[in-house]
């Protein structure tokens, strides 16, 4: 039997009540956010350095093309409509073309979508890679708030994938 390399660090969450596991844990509050390389809707590689000196919300979701994920995008869009000092990065395994199509159809202009289409290193580094269950290989639902120096102010790994994150709590760090 093959040993699970993530066994020590995995976190149990649920998908409609059934347990599934992530590869690890979210980075600690107070730590520096791990750098990443994700793909924008114009297929440009983007790293954390591309958002230097910007306050960020990292909204990590399984797929923007699902009901709960789309609701989350709309919620962040509405709540941050008048906040030019905060950038929302909506990160999923969706292809950039699908992300762009959904955002265009839903008129989402405040959020910026980034794709893990080329690899899953981002999900691994942030401890949100689903390692079993029907969504294995994509990301769990999580939210991180980062200050302008990309220090982590807040994290939430949503315990049930079919639930929305706590928007108010994530945004209280940017009052």
Active-site residue set:
69
* Backbone angles phi and psi of 63, in degrees to 5: -160, 130
Q: Could you tell me the two tokens for 144?
A: 């991180």
What is d(CA 175, CA 88) in angstroms, rounded to the nearest whole number?
15
Percentage helix, strand, coil for the chain under 3-state DSSP, each rounded to 5: 25, 30, 50
What is d(CA 42, CA 29) in angstroms, rounded to the nearest whole number?
32
Query: What length is written for the chain?
Result: 175
Q: What dihedral angle (degrees, nearest 10) is formed by the CA atoms of 80, 172, 114, 87?
A: 50
């Amino acid at each position: 039997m093959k040993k699970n390399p993530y066994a020590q660090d995995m976190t149990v969450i649920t998908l409609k009540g059934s347990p599934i596991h992530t590869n690890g844990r979210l980075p600690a509050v107070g730590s520096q956010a791990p750098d990443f390389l994700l793909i924008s809707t114009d297929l440009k590689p983007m790293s954390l350095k591309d958002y230097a000196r910007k306050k960020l919300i990292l909204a990590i979701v399984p797929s923007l093309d699902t009901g709960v994920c789309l609701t989350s995008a709309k919620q962040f869009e509405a709540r941050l409509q008048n906040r030019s000092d905060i950038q929302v990065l909506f990160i999923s395994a969706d292809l950039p073309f699908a992300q762009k199509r959904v955002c265009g159809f839903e008129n989402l202009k405040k959020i910026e979508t980034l794709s893990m289409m080329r690899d899953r290193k981002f999900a691994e580094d942030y401890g949100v890679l689903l390692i079993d269950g029907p969504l294995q290989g994509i990301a769990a639902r999580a939210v991180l708030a980062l200050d302008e120096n990309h220090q982590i102010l807040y994290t939430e790994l949503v315990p049930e994938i079919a639930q929305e994150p706590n928007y108010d709590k994530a945004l209280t760090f940017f009052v």
